[in-house]
Structure 1
Amino acid sequence: MTGFNPLVALRSPRETLDGYIILPRLIDKVRAQARGELPAAYQRNLLHRGGTLDGRFLAFTGLEGEALRAVILSCETDEPVAQWVAHHATRHSAEEKQRWAAEVEGYRPAGRVLLYLQATVPEVAARIDCALVSLLDLIDMDEGRLAVPAPGGAADVEKRRF
């Protein structure tokens, strides 16, 4: 987030691969880290379990972060990664993947997470109440894929998506 380098192309966490949100972004982050291009602010949570988006993906799929990293780095394209995930992840129907994606999409930061985000995306936090928008919206705003509403506004973020 802070320290984001627009020259490092990370896909939106909303993009999907084999029905999984977050996975294309994880692939981008792992490859960027291997090239030494992943911003420092992204490094500490990369493929770590817990409440981060990476951790939520790992928990939902049942995958181990280091195994996923090894596969990503051994594959030149996304498709073999998707095939490996399909073979090794906990089986989920398309409907289960959609429900999980909606749950992640609906997550609004609160408490310590909100304070952390306000500190790491100060340009966005100065213009909106970060508690009123989803974490995915905050990421997309911070990385320039989603317009930041006028100061104090967040009600029509959905309408402003590129």
Structure 2
Amino acid sequence: MSKQSNTLQLSAKNLETEFPRSPRETLGGFVVAARALDKCRAVLAGTNGEYHFNCPLDNTFFDFVGISGDAFKDFVATGADDEAVGKWIQENSQVKEKREIIAWNNKMRYMRPVDMPIELQEFLEGYIPEYLPSNKIVRVWFDVYDIEEGRI
């Protein structure tokens, strides 16, 4: 096993038994990025379980920074640690203005389902009652992940 693939295996979470990071956690200064990284590493290591990399949530981040999921995955496959991935994101992001990043992070943190495209609203309309406890209230999109994964 090469050093790169060994490093990747060691850093990849087993998403069959643990959860990726909350979409609220930042990497390189961006929400969603740390979660996308956890899922990407798990896909590369074959430990992603039911989690998907390059999903609609990941794509909100990739679209904002102007980085493709494939380019991200190629860099992650080198075995880069979190710090190196965060630096790579900052260097390759088309968004450099701190205020623009802050505004996007806050938009994402506080996006209510009603503010989402109708296709995602329709998906959540069925997903929430099926997979989340009825005593939990979803106020913002990220709540769905954090409730389902036991963080709130």
1:126 to partner: Cα distance: 3.0
- Which structure has the highest helix share of the two? 2
Q: Percent identity?
A: 27
1:114 to partner: Cα distance: 2.9
Query: Which residue of structure 2 aligns with residue 124 of structure 1?
Result: 132
Distance 1:99 1:31 in 2: 28
1:67 to partner: Cα distance: 0.6
> Is 1:15 aligned with 2:25?
yes
Give me the TM-score of the superposition, normalised by structure 1. 0.72
User: Structure 2 regions of 5+ residues with no counterpart?
Assistant: 1-14
Letter in 1 for 2:31: I
> Is 1:47 aligned with 2:54?
yes
Partner secondary structure for residue 69 of structure 1: helix
Which portions of structure 1, spanning 4 or more consecutive aligned residues, are displaced by more than 4 angstroms?
none
Distance 2:19 2:136 in 1: 25
> Is 1:56 aligned with 2:60?
yes
Q: Summarize the alignment of residues 47-86 of structure 1 with structure 2, pairs less than 5 Å apart.
A: 47-48=54-55, 52-86=56-90
Which structure is higher in RCO with an 8 Å CA cutoff and minimum separation 6? 2
Does structure 2 retain, via aligned residues, the 8 Å contact 1:6–1:143?
no
Q: Structure 1's 6 and 143: CA in aligned 2 closer, same or farther, altered over 3 A?
A: farther
**Over aligned residues, Cα RMSD in angstroms?**
2.1
Partner secondary structure for residue 74 of structure 1: coil
Distance 1:95 1:66 in 2: 27
Letter in 2 for 1:95: R
1:116 to partner: Cα distance: 1.6
User: Structure 1 regions of 5+ residues with no counterpart?
Assistant: 147-162
Query: Which residue of structure 1 aligns with residue 9 of structure 2?
Result: none
Q: Alignment length, in residue pairs?
A: 134
Partner secondary structure for residue 53 of structure 1: helix
1:128 to partner: Cα distance: 4.6
Does structure 1 retain, via aligned residues, the 8 Å contact 2:30–2:105?
yes
Distance 2:18 2:80 in 1: 17
Distance 2:45 2:126 in 1: 27
Distance 2:41 2:85 in 1: 12
1:94 to partner: Cα distance: 2.1
Query: Which residue of structure 2 aligns with residue 140 of structure 1?
Result: 146
> Is 1:106 aligned with 2:110?
yes
Distance 1:39 1:134 in 2: 25
Give me the TM-score of the superposition, normalised by structure 2. 0.77
